[in-house]
Amino acid sequence: MTLLTVSGLVKHFAISGSAKLVQALNGVDLEIARGETLALVGESGSGKTTVGRCVVGLIEATKGSIVFDGEPMTTARNIRHPEVRGRIQLLFQEPMESFNPRETIARAMMEPLIYLGVSGPDRVKRLREVLALIGISERVAESLPSDLSPGLLQRAAIGRAIMSKPDLLVLDEPTSALDPTSRAEIVDLLIRLQAETGIAYLFISHDLSTVRFLSSRITVLYLGSVMETGPAEEVCARPRHPYSVGLMASVLLPHPSLKAPERLKLEGEIPSPVDLPPGCPLASRCPFVEPACRTAKPPAEYPAKGHLVHCINHEKVAALDESIDQFSEFRAISDRMLSVGAPTAPAWAG
């Protein structure tokens, strides 16, 4: 059953003192089913975070529609509406910046429940349930944010996000600031939480080697436009858009012995999103570019079931070396759980 549907999402930002616009999003479509993970990937500046902020209602879309659980999201019915409040949560890239430095982790995690009208004893009960889920002891929960490592603090941020038992969690680059071991631990934690709670994820990232193990489907975004969407294994093993291939080749692999194949190289820099020309956004960097690519946006092509690509030369891309499945050893990174001490009587329980 579909939980979230985004159709024709457009977001343009005005430039002060100019009639020009920053075209952050240009007709983005995506769907997320209950209990599913959709990864939204692309370079910095591709519009990934803007999509997430539109979904949670932090910014208002210029055009398009967002439907959550069968009902449209509007200025009147947003994440603050009683029917939606607590059902969509956002996890930030830098957890330290989202925590009050003078508040303990426990109090910060319980804060969302205050605004939902949950009583004190029930807040403490829910906190203990979530601490057990994320692998943090009650003793550690009494610490201040500055006392925790980045990996442990991100665990606490995940715990705070799921306190309200949301249906959808928007994760904005949640592993990009972590070391490989902590990254693997957070990925495994998210997989386990989804299996136990049935929560859906919109996972925003530029790291295909991470999203491959977490996502059901992948949507590739470039300059505010969808380039390719399909099952995670299909997109990673057989990408059909030149930009997707370029992203795969740019991933830093977890061991020096692993080498990414030289399949396709995108030349030049990402263009400015101000007053984009018509046609394919990748036209200025694509080795397969044709005159038609510069005049009109490529139509949707379906090279396989559930696999959509906006490229008239997707068959040429498919003719490249088939073996791009170079990330199988990512799982070899340790997924050890952090050991925490025995709990004592916490201050927040009294």
Write the pLDDT tens digit of every residue in 73-108.
888 888 888 888 899 999 988 888 889 999 999 999
Query: In whole numbers, what is the pLDDT of the chain averaged over residues?
Result: 85
**Structural domain count, the chain:** 2
- Domain annotation covers residue 226: no
Tell me the CA end-to-end span of the chain in Å, nearest whole number: 42
Q: Sign (positive/negative) of CA torsion 182, 188, 192, 193? A: positive
**Do 173 and 199 have their domain in common?**
yes
Which structural domain, as residue segments, surrounds residue 299?
A: 237-332
- Domain membership of residue 225 (yes or no) is no
Do 30 and 228 form a contact (C-beta atoms < 8 A)?
A: no
| CATH number, domain with residue 139 | 3.40.50.300
d(CA 201, CA 249): 25
- Is residue 88 situated within a structural domain? yes
Residue at 137 is within a domain: yes
Same-domain pairing of 271 and 178: no
Q: Classify residue 216: in a domain, yes or no.
A: yes
* Residue 135: its H or E element: none
Residue 307 lies inside a defined structural domain of this protein: yes
More confident residue, 346 or 77: 77
The predicted model gives 199-211 an average pLDDT of 87
Task: Say if residue 151 is in the same domain as residue 64.
Answer: yes
Whether 82 and 205 map to the same domain: the answer is yes
pLDDT digits (tens, 9 = 90+) for 139-193: 999 999 999 998 899 999 999 999 999 999 999 988 887 888 888 889 899 999 9
Whether residues 154 and 112 share a domain: the answer is yes
**Comparison of pLDDT for 35 and 95, the residue scoring more:** 35
> Is residue 228 in a domain?
no
Return the pLDDT at 261.
52
**294-317 pLDDT per residue, tens:** 998 899 999 888 899 999 999 888
